[in-house]
Each structure stands twice: as structure tokens, then as C-alpha cells.
Amino acid sequence: MSEITFIIFAVVILIIVSTSFVSVKQGTIVVITIFGKYRRILTPGLNFKLPFIENVYSKISIQNRSVELEFQAVTYDQANVYFKAMLLYSVLDQQEETIKNVAFKFVDERNLMQALIRTVEGSIRAFVATKRQSEVLILRRDIVEHVKEQLDQILESWGYHLQDLQLNDITFDEVIMKSMSQVVASNNLKAAAENEGQALLITKTKAAEAEGNAIKISAQAEREAAQLRGQGIALFREEVARGMTVAAKEMAEANMDTSVIMFTMWTESIKHFAENSQGNVIFLDGSTDQMQHTLKEMMGLNLLYADAVKNVKK
């Protein structure tokens, strides 16, 4: 009997010892109750509890948790929008009041997840319902900020904090997606046509400018050439007149007839015609009267030039 009593006593002691210590993993908080009422929390490590009196009510992970969402919303212009999102959340902190909210606000984890998911979906649906289909794709960040603003207080009252909400995919009905693709394609074609038109306009403008500049340069060159030719002719005539004046003066001093000069010029002109003409026949009036008439005209021109030179010198 003594051996049986010892064995029973040893078993009881072993049970008491085994139930008096609780090992809590890192990233976990244990909630302790006494006869169903909250007593205290146990932090990571080896903890002591009263055997048979204190009970482990729940083990709460304080690590980040994620859940994937898929749901549908309707825009202001009655377009169906399909969302695929990833929700990242965690326990707000390790304070005792926060852990109590986490442990006792919901019956179990499944009910918490259901409430959390439905709350997020409802917030996004309410936001999307005020926007048009064309606006939804560019408001991804605004949707996330709206959800966080709406849910922060609610989740804090549950003991949780919304870390992040990522909208991984936003799609519409196939008909809408096709029409959106057509709009994008038409806008791209329009932009390409406008760019091509601008390029063509620039090309033609530059070509016209180049042509205009070429005409201006050519006209300037032609004007300068004509001016130089005129100056050359004027200088030639001036030199001829000066030479004839000197020759006539010398012949007058030598008592010689100055008409010889005119006769020489007449014969030189005929020689020039013969040498530089492209024809085979030159028709000239070689009569004495015609020669005298031509010589008189040339002498008259010479006198007019001499008078003009005198007037300039005066």
C-alpha cells in the first residue's frame, strides 16, 4: 500500500508541476483566465501559473498576418469592377487592454476574419460607388487611403491595426475592357497622326525657309554681281573717255584732225564684230555719209561726257 500511495503521490506532484509552468513562443501572447474570468497575460518565455485554477484561454499571435480578398463593386455609372486585394494586419500592440480586446471581442478567429473582410469590402464598395468607371483605375492610391482612414478606428477597437492594403488587380467586364482598349488605341492613333502632321509641317516649313533663304542669297548675289558689272562698265567708259580726251588733246596740240580717233574706233568696232560674231555675214553701211553720221554721234557723246566731267569738277 505504501508503494501505491507513493506512486499516486508522485503522479500528482508530476501533474501539478507540469500544469504549473507554461512555455510561450516568441511572437505569441497567452491569455490566462480563472474560472472563465480574465486574469492576466503571459509573455514569451517560461511562465508560472496556478495549477487547476488558472487556465490558458487563448494564444494570440502578435505577428503580421495577411489575407487575400476577391470581390465586386459597382461604379457610379453602373460598371462592374472586380478587385483582387491583399490585406496585411496585425495586433495593435502588446498592452493588456489591447490583448483583452483581441481575445474577447470575437467568438473565434473565423468570425474575426469574416468581419474584417466584409468591413474592407464595404468601405471599398462605398468609395467606388461615388466614382465613374474611367476614374477607378487612376484612384488606386486614393482607395487604399480611404479604406485605412475608415477602418483604423474600427480595427483599433478590436485590438488590430491595418498595416497595408494592396489592390493587386482591378478589372472590368469584358465588354468594358474591350471598349477601353479601343479608346486607348484610337487615342494612340490620334496622337501618332498629330505627331506625323507636326513633323510634316515642320519639314515643309524648314524647306520653305531654306528655299526662301536660297532665293534671298541668290538675289543678293545677283544684285551685287550686277552692281559690280555696272561699276566695271562705268569704269571702262570712264577710262575710254579719259584716253580719248588725252589723245584728242595731244592731236590738237600737234595740229592733227581729231576725227582720226573716231575713224580708228570705227574700224576697231568692225574688227571686233568680225572676230566675235557667230554668224557668217555682217551687214554694215560702209558709205562715207553713214560713217560721217556715226562719227558725229560718237563725237557728240564724247562732248557730252566732257561737259559732264567739267560740271562734276566744278
Q: What is the structure's pLDDT at 16?
A: 76
3-state secondary structure of 50: coil
Task: Report how far apart, in Å, the C-alpha atoms of 149 and of each of 74, 88, 121, 152, 169 are.
Answer: 21, 15, 14, 6, 21
DSSP E strands: which ranges in 35-64? 37-42, 45-48, 54-61
Q: List the beta bridge partners of residue 91.
A: 160
pLDDT above 70 for 221: yes
Distance separating alpha carbons of residues 33 and 59, to the nearest angstrom: 12
pLDDT band at 12 (very low <50, low <70, confident <90, very high): confident
Q: What is the structure's pLDDT at 69?
A: 86
Residue that the C-alpha cell 492576466 belongs to: 40
Q: What is the structure's pLDDT at 211?
A: 80
Please tell me which residue, 61 or 251, carries the higher pLDDT value.
Answer: 61
pLDDT band at 224 (very low <50, low <70, confident <90, very high): confident
pLDDT band at 30 (very low <50, low <70, confident <90, very high): very high
